Amino acid sequence: MTAVIEARPAHRSPQVLRWLGAYTASTLGDSVFYLALSWTAVTSGTPAQAGLVMAVAAVPRALLLLFGGVIADRLGPRRVVIVSDTVRCLVTFGLAAALLLAAPGLWALAAVALVFGAVDAVFLPAVGALPPRIAERDQLARVQGMRGLSYRTGAILGAPLGGLAVALGGTASAFGVAGVLFALSLPLLAALRLRPLPQEDRARDGTALRDLADGLRYLRGHPVLGPLMIVVLLSDLGFVGPLNVGLAVLAEQRGWGAAGIGWVLAGFGVGAGGASLFLTVRGRIGRTGVVMGGTMVLGAVAIGALAHVPHTAAAVLVALCIGLLAGLSGALCNALVQTECDPAYLGRVSAVASLGSLGIAPLGYPVTGAALGAWGPGPVFAVSAAVCALSGVYGLAVRAVRRAELPKTPEF
């Protein structure tokens, strides 16, 4: 179904609000699902076996993500997202029923994790390709801010909701809640009316491998998007390790405890949410490329400083600054990808942009862990901060990225 999308600010657009509601429901469902999966795995086996079950999802996601971008461009993002959430809904309800009737082994949980990882590989590029089909180009920065708020809402509320469901009705109940949340996204997605794109047919010519190669050539030849993918990769490589692995080691050494980790992550979430809210309200930031690179460098300084704060309160404050700066630079980077990219290639470009954080960066977790054990948090956080700073410096050094601007937002 296609239609002309009338010009209006994103926060007043029924199209954007439907998409945002579906995305929020899906994100909540994801959070509840993974909490229920980890709890079921822990109670059904050893901690090591539970870790393997949780890690299984990353394998198909990393291997199939680029081809997921091809599928999103070939079939259209709305169709792919609907099918993805339908599959997740049915699989989750099936697992809930299995838990009510029997006690499925770890192999069944691993199989479900594999399915979710494969679905993520097509879902993530499709989600990245949807905004230009439902919003005006000058509203895409605001849409990215709204998406950031939605993601933070799902991440913050999903875990407590899943924990409450487990406490009240067991893991089968939690999986059932996740299935309901995935189901809630479907009518909202079905009601979306997408903007027709004249370039759309180009993405459907040839084989999947040829389409993937075509997308990579497009990226390599684009003056902004090609360098921007390097900025994204360096930022992910420097950022993901300290926040996902180093923080636990830091909390243990400083005596913050598990509660301290929670407070630090909450500080980061509040900062990132604040950045998303700011971009949602403002709609556009001038000198976008300069602000993006500058906030990356400042965020890198904050990451390096986190390893040297002794008290929990100070660490929460530093984490809030990291979230604010990293959230703003990340949202601006995503908005530039949305506005600079030919929509016919957006699924493939979104897949490449996601590959760093979801495919390559997690492979460095063992290296980060070994380095933390050998040298401690200080040097590891310093190196990670240097990599993050390099991403911002590189963005500022490339003239096309430095001069990149988001479209001006009209007054409504």
Q: What is the pLDDT of residues 32-69, one digit of tens each?
A: 898 888 888 877 776 667 667 777 777 888 888 899 99
Are residues 189 and 284 located together in one domain of the fold? no
Token readout for 214 is 């075509």
pLDDT in tens, 284-304: 888 999 999 999 999 999 999
Question: In the prediction, which pLDDT does 259 show?
Answer: 72
Question: In the prediction, which pLDDT does 363 show?
Answer: 66
- Confidence class for position 236, pLDDT limits 50, 70, 90: confident
Integer Cα distance of 52 and 22 in angstroms: 30
- Confidence class for position 2, pLDDT limits 50, 70, 90: very low
Question: In the prediction, which pLDDT does 228 show?
Answer: 94
- Confidence class for position 166, pLDDT limits 50, 70, 90: confident
Is there a contact between 59 and 116 (Cβ–Cβ < 8 Å)? Answer: no
Question: In the prediction, which pLDDT does 183 show?
Answer: 95
Q: Is residue 3 part of a domain?
A: no
Are residues 213 and 328 located together in one domain of the fold? yes
Q: Which whole number is the average pLDDT over 355-366?
A: 72
Instruction: Report the SS3 class of residue 194.
Output: strand
Token readout for 35 is 């909490």
Task: Write down the mean pLDDT value for the chain.
Answer: 85
Task: Flag whether pLDDT at 115 surpasses 80.
Answer: yes
Question: Which carries the bigger pLDDT value, residue 240 or residue 82?
Answer: 82
Q: Which whole number is the average pLDDT over 71-88?
A: 92
Are residues 253 and 177 located together in one domain of the fold? no
Are residues 388 and 241 located together in one domain of the fold? yes
Cα within 13 Å of Cα(85), Cβ side: 28
Question: In the prediction, which pLDDT does 376 show?
Answer: 83
- Confidence class for position 104, pLDDT limits 50, 70, 90: confident
Are residues 71 and 124 located together in one domain of the fold? yes
Which residue among 196, 227, 245 closes a domain? 196
Q: Which whole number is the average pLDDT over 393-410?
A: 89
Q: Which whole number is the average pLDDT over 182-209?
A: 75
Task: Flag whether pLDDT at 167 surpasses 60.
Answer: yes
Range of the domain at 127: 10-196
Are residues 57 and 170 located together in one domain of the fold? yes
pTM exceeding 0.85: no
Are residues 62 and 112 located together in one domain of the fold? yes
Nearest in space to 348 (alpha carbons), one of 78, 71, 117 = 71
Cα within 13 Å of Cα(388), Cβ side: 31
Task: Flag whether pLDDT at 24 surpasses 80.
Answer: yes
Q: Is residue 39 part of a domain?
A: yes
Which stretch, 99-103, 178-182, 210-214, 283-287, has highest mean pLDDT?
178-182
Which residue among 196, 231, 253 closes a domain? 196
Q: Which whole number is the average pLDDT over 207-228?
A: 91
- Which of 94-103, 121-130, 250-259, 340-349 is the least confident region? 250-259
Which residue among 169, 196, 223 closes a domain? 196
Question: In the prediction, which pLDDT does 405 show?
Answer: 92
Question: Which carries the bigger pLDDT value, residue 392 or residue 34?
Answer: 392
Question: In the prediction, which pLDDT does 301 show?
Answer: 94
Are residues 334 and 358 located together in one domain of the fold? yes
Q: Which whole number is the average pLDDT over 126-136?
A: 86
Question: Which carries the bigger pLDDT value, residue 93 or residue 105?
Answer: 93
- Which of 69-83, 330-344, 352-366 is the least confident region? 352-366
Characterise 410 by phi-psi region: left (phi > 0), alpha (psi -120 to 50), beta (else).
Answer: beta
Question: Which carries the bigger pLDDT value, residue 387 or residue 260?
Answer: 387
Count of domains forming the chain: 2
% of residues, the chain, pLDDT over 90: 35
Question: In the prediction, which pLDDT does 197 show?
Answer: 63
Question: What are the CB-based long-range contacts (under 8 Å, 24+) for 136-140?
Answer: 136/5, 136/7, 137/339, 137/407, 138/283, 138/284, 138/406, 138/407, 138/408, 138/409, 138/410, 139/9, 139/10, 139/13, 139/16, 139/283, 139/409, 140/335, 140/338, 140/339, 140/406, 140/407
% of residues, the chain, pLDDT over 70: 91
Are residues 302 and 368 located together in one domain of the fold? yes
Would you say the C-alpha torsion 138, 144, 149, 151 has a positive or negative sign? positive
Question: In the prediction, which pLDDT does 412 show?
Answer: 45
Rg over alpha carbons for the chain, rounded to the nearest Å, is 21
Are residues 61 and 23 located together in one domain of the fold? yes
Task: Flag whether pLDDT at 30 surpasses 50.
Answer: yes
Question: In the prediction, which pLDDT does 205 show?
Answer: 55
Q: Is residue 261 part of a domain?
A: yes
Are residues 93 and 232 located together in one domain of the fold? no
How far, rounded to the nearest angstrom, does the alpha carbon of residue 64 sit from its chain's CA centroid? 16
- Which of 11-20, 43-52, 108-117 is the least confident region? 43-52
C-alpha torsion 166→240→148→389, nearest 10: 160
Residue 44 belongs to what H/E stretch? helix 14-44
In Å, what is the CA distance from 373 to each residue of 34, 93, 298, 367, 386? 28, 41, 27, 10, 20
